[in-house]
Amino acid sequence: MKEIIDYYQHIPLNIEPIAFTIGSFSVGWYSLMYIAAIGAVYRILSYRIKKDISPENRIHLQAKNIGNNKFSKKEIKRLMGDFLLISFTGALLGGRLGYVLLYNPFYYLEHPLEIISPYDFATGEFIGIYGMSYHGGLVGAVIAAYFFARKHKLNFRAWADFIVPAVPAGYFFGRIGNFLNLELYGRATDSWIGMYFPVAASFEYSLRFPSQLIEAFLEGIILFIILWSIRNNKKYEGHLLSFYIVGYGVARFLGEFFREPDEHIGFIFSFITLGQIFSILMILAGIGLCYFQKKRKIV
């Protein structure tokens, strides 16, 4: 048993973040996990279109002011792909901008080109763009999706309800990507569940929670199971969207107790991190959305 635990605890030391290299261009497992996340969400939503879409909720996906012409399933799938692409683009832009403004504004004020450059200015190597904020990504995705829905005369709340049950599956792969990239590791611990991370300070002496895997479980598996189980039982338009916002906020708040705070930020109030503050705001926003949408019953 001791040998098994020892092997488990040293897994991160045997991980190579780069999956393969073509010339001077390296592709990391983190990038591949992003692709896997998008693929998983798309496949799950394709299943929903095939199994869960009824003639009645085809009408609800359209804006109410353009009549009751029903979307075909083929048209829904095409729009769903475009909706996801626009939302993902908004999430990337919002996530990057959110990280720059919320987590490290002074650094990027002095190094503005690093906001968008995927190259290390010191070595000239391609390193990708590091530093994303989930909360900024959520805002970016919602804004992009909202304007896409308006442009194509779609019912934004109905589409959001349709899509969000699949989103946690993407988080699962995203957090696995964080683990394979040896980033966002957890706080020091004496528990056997801890692992040695080579990029952590004094890693050879300190076990750390595999917070990426814990968050993959909370934000990915658990939230997916909950949302998937209630996907066809929403009480009003915006129900699943508000439940998702609250659910992710709770999962992230709990996960932050295992995660090492950003070194340049640390704790904000005693043991509370900046991520937990944003999660509390997210929970309140979800509750507020639930309250204001509750009277808009589905007809």
Q: Over the Cα atoms of the chain, what is R_g?
A: 21
Q: For 100, what's the count of Cα atoms within 13 Å in the CB-facing half-sphere? A: 16
Give the start-end residues of each E strand in the chain: 18-22, 25-28, 188-189, 207-208, 267-269, 272-273
Answer whether residue 73 shows pLDDT above 90.
Answer: no
Answer whether residue 299 shows pLDDT above 50.
Answer: no
Q: Tell me how far apart the alpha carbons of residues 209 and 189 are, in angstroms, rounded to a whole number.
A: 6
The identity of residue 99, as a single letter, is: Y
pLDDT for residue 126: 60
Burial of 41 (0-12, 13-18, 19+ CB in 10 A): buried
Q: Are 175 and 216 in contact (CB under 8 A)?
A: yes
The verdict on residue 257 lying in a domain is: yes
Q: Are 4 and 151 in contact (CB under 8 A)?
A: no
Q: Tell me how far apart the alpha carbons of residues 28 and 96 are, in angstroms, rounded to a whole number.
A: 18
* Residue 196: how many other CB atoms lie within 10 Å: 17
The verdict on residue 299 lying in a domain is: no
Q: Tell me how far apart the alpha carbons of residues 167 and 255 are, in angstroms, rounded to a whole number.
A: 18
The verdict on residue 298 lying in a domain is: no
Q: What is the pLDDT of residues 250-281, one digit of tens each?
A: 999 999 999 998 776 778 878 899 899 999 99
Of 236, 238, 190, 194, give the one whose Cα is nearest residue 213: 194
More confident position, 128 or 49 = 49
Q: Are 121 and 114 in contact (CB under 8 A)?
A: yes
Answer whether residue 63 shows pLDDT above 70.
Answer: no
pLDDT for residue 94: 93
Q: What is the pLDDT of residues 145-195, one digit of tens each?
A: 999 998 888 889 888 999 999 999 999 999 999 999 998 899 999 999 999
Identify the three-state secondary structure at position 196.
coil
Answer whether residue 77 shows pLDDT above 60.
Answer: yes
The verdict on residue 61 lying in a domain is: yes
The verdict on residue 74 lying in a domain is: yes
Phi, psi of 105 (to 5 degrees): -65, -40
How does residue 297 score in pLDDT terms, banded at 50, 70 and 90? low
- Which helix or strand (DSSP H or E) is residue 259 part of? none
Answer whether residue 246 shows pLDDT above 70.
Answer: yes
The verdict on residue 251 lying in a domain is: yes
Q: What is the pLDDT of residues 1-47, one digit of tens each?
A: 889 999 999 999 999 998 888 877 778 898 899 999 999 999 999 99
- In which domain, by residue range, is 24 found? 2-293
Q: Averaged over 77-86, what is the pLDDT?
A: 89
The verdict on residue 206 lying in a domain is: yes
The verdict on residue 38 lying in a domain is: yes
Q: What is the DSSP letter of 217?
A: I
User: How many independent structural domains does the chain possess?
Assistant: 1
Q: Tell me how far apart the alpha carbons of residues 65 and 9 are, in angstroms, rounded to a whole number.
A: 58
Burial of 264 (0-12, 13-18, 19+ CB in 10 A): exposed
